[in-house]
Amino acid sequence: MNRNYNNYYDGKNFGNYSEHDEETVVTYNSQEPYIQPPPPFQEDPTQPAYTFPTQPNKFKRNRIIGVVLFVLLILSAAIILPLLFLVPRNVSFDILPISVENTTINVTPDGFFLPVTPIVLANNENFFDILLKKVSISGSHPSYSDGHIALGTGLVTNVNLNKRSFTQFPFLFNVQFNKTLDPQLSYLSSMLTNCSDPTNSKLYFDISVDVAYKMWAKSDSMNDKRNIIFPCPVSNEEAQRYMSFLPMM
């Protein structure tokens, strides 16, 4: 059995051969062209080395973005925190119901003197304490010198309002009637008329409150006007008895 193989290439030459059972005869076919393999690649030392383009470092980019976001967060907090904590909020004042059960009317040749001690409830909504350096209160009534002269005065100093809390403090309010300022006894007649009526045993004043306060490094002042109402310092029977003496005053 014979096997014939033609057109071989041994790495250098082309040719053909035939293989027999006993021996193999290889003959070179000189008609086939000889192909020289290409020379190996050599870099040119005179040319700069070629570098392949690289993609951006994703981790480094994410880290830069994180730093930028952190800085923006700090700046936002620096702007927002003063708005939340440092911007002044309202401070409200309410006067609790006034009791005159243990109050004594001091009668003088020119009129009378009545001390009253209201309790003030202050609500400080700020995130910092406020010092009330001076609270000055004056009260008037339309029937007394047409409301142009104070019928009562009060003063309190150095009251500290704790942050985010309610604070109660008393102040002495002195009601002083002088008949030389009310020669027609208009206010006294109005007061005794109210006190003699069991359904309307109340007295009221138009008050003006001037407050000088300090917060942080800032000092300022404010003014508030309102009405206060308190019970009559005399009973209905006593008021009726006093009214009978008005024509003789």
pLDDT in tens, 184-218: 888 988 888 989 988 888 888 899 999 999 987 78
CA distances from 37 to 31, 41, 231 (A): 19, 12, 124
Flag whether pLDDT at 61 surpasses 90: no
pLDDT in tens, 145-198: 888 999 999 999 999 999 889 999 998 889 999 989 988 888 988 888 989 988
The predicted pLDDT at position 158 comes to: 94
Q: How buried is 160 (Cβ within 10 angstroms: 0-12 exposed, 13-18 middle, 19+ buried)?
A: exposed
pLDDT at 161: 93
- Here the tokens at position 167 are 């604070």
- Give the chain's mean pLDDT: 78
Q: Measure Cα distances from 231 to 11, 138, 147, 179 in Å.
A: 127, 18, 20, 22
Give the model's confidence band at 22: pLDDT under 50 very low, under 70 low, under 90 confident, else very high: very low
Answer yes or no: is pLDDT of 131 > 90.
yes
Over residues 82-97, the mean pLDDT reads: 74
Q: Check residue 138 and give its pLDDT.
A: 93
Q: How far apart are CA 211 and CA 217, in angstroms?
A: 17
Mean pLDDT of 230-249: 82
Going 216 to 222 to 225 to 230, the CA torsion angle's sign is positive
Reported as type and span, the H/E element at residue 210 is strand 202-215
What's the pLDDT score for residue 139?
A: 93
The closest alpha carbon to 93, from 148, 174, 153, 156, belongs to: 156
The structure tokens listed for 170 are: 């008393």
pLDDT band at 95 (very low <50, low <70, confident <90, very high): confident
The answer on pLDDT for 123 being more than 60 is yes
Q: Is 69 helix (H, G, I), strand (E, B) or coil?
A: helix
Closest CA to 139 of 149, 129, 130: 149
Instruction: Please state the φ and ψ torsions of residue 122, each to the nearest 5 degrees.
Output: -110, 135
Percent of the chain with pLDDT over 90: 19
Domain boundaries, the chain: 91-248
Q: What is the mean pLDDT of residues 27-41?
A: 59
Judged against a pLDDT cut of 90, whether residue 132 lies above it is answered with yes
Per CATH, domain 91-248 is 2.60.40.10: yes
pLDDT of the residue at 5: 46
Q: Which residue has the tokens 């047409």?
A: 146
Q: What is the mean pLDDT of residues 34-43?
A: 63
